[in-house]
Structure 1
Amino acid sequence: MAVAAWEALFRAQVSIMRRLSAEFPTEVMSLNEYDVLFNISRAPGRHLRLKELNRHVLISQPSVSRLVDRLAARGWVEKSHDPLDGRGTIVQLTAKGFQEFRRAAIHHMEAITDRVGGTLDEAELRQLIDLCDRLREAQGQPPANPHAAE
């Protein structure tokens, strides 16, 4: 039963992600760029160590480094050396980057609401959040959004 449940969860996630990616609301920003900006925007002070960013995004580490370089070239993030670890890099969201992120986020949230919220009722959404949080916690990860059910 665990394998069937995993397969169902995985296939649903892939189907939704493909649809969201195809419908991503802006020609200015890719879904992967959005994912990087989203994770940086949620960090305290809107900055994050590159190593930590790699743990949270959906793409591979070399791809994240190249993507961050492209975002820096556009003025959406700034890179600096980590003062606590000279080998590390801090990635900071700029005001321009946050503005572009917010613009895309509004449309992206509407698409998610349509794709997921249009299919499940509020009780089912809360149950899905609880189940996914339990699965993450069992893997040693914190809940994705501790305030999502509020």
Structure 2
Amino acid sequence: MRSIAADFPSRDISFNEYDVMFNLSRAPEWRLRLRDLNRNVLLTQPSVSRLVDRLALRGYVQKHIDPADGRGALIELTDAGFELFRRVALQHMATITERIGDSLSTDELTQLIGLCDRLRAGD
């Protein structure tokens, strides 16, 4: 991971900003509650809040009051944010492919995805 992060292909966003945008891009309507976003990234809650504020200032995300809980916030990826994420994702995938290559078979990759999903879900 350190090697992949060190070779992160974008000067427009950081690796951590990419991680936040990745999680938002996978969410329904590109929107997550801030507390749910916090669960899916490897940053502290204050760090995620500051990062989201920086992305919002640059127009890549929007913050909304959570209508279900006025104390919470919904974070939504904007169209501009998605376009930037998509461009960087293609470059980032090339870096990952270059690093990992053909080390794992298709069956092993499928198994790895399943294991990672289970770990992330806490099963």
Counterpart contact for 1:34–1:101, Cα < 8 Å = yes
| Runs of 5+ unmatched residues, structure 1 | 1-16, 141-150
Bigger relative contact order (CA 8 A; separation at least 6): 2
- State how 1:56-75 maps to structure 2 within 5 Å: 56-75=40-59
Calculate the aligned-residue CA RMSD, in Å: 1.6
What residue number does 1:125 align with?
109
How many residues get paired? 123
Q: Distance in 2 between matches of 1:92 and 1:133?
A: 23
From 83, 86, 97, the equivalent of 2:67 is: 83
From 12, 27, 45, the equivalent of 1:43 is: 27
Moved over 4 A (4+): 133-137
Structure 1 133/99 Cα, relative in aligned 2: closer, same or farther at 3 Å? closer
> Over residues 55-92 of structure 1, what are the superposed CA-to-partner deviations in whole Å (9 max), with x where a residue is unaligned?
11121111100000000000000101011100000111
| Runs of 5+ unmatched residues, structure 2 | none
Question: Which residue identity is paired with 2:34?
Answer: L
Q: Distance in 1 between matches of 2:64 and 2:27?
A: 16
Q: Distance in 2 between matches of 1:129 and 1:38?
A: 16
- Helix, strand or coil for the counterpart of 2:62? strand
Q: Distance in 2 between matches of 1:28 and 1:86?
A: 32
- Helix, strand or coil for the counterpart of 1:123? helix
Q: Distance in 2 between matches of 1:79 and 1:130?
A: 32
- Identity of counterpart residues, as a percentage? 59
- How far does residue 103 in structure 1 lie from its aligned partner after superposition? 0.6
> Over residues 104-140 of structure 1, what are the superposed CA-to-partner deviations in whole Å (9 max), with x where a residue is unaligned?
0001111122222332232332333344445556x33
Q: Is the aligned partner of 1:112 residue 2:110?
A: no
Q: TM-score, length-normalised on structure 1? A: 0.75
Q: Highest CA radius of gyration, 1 or 2?
A: 1
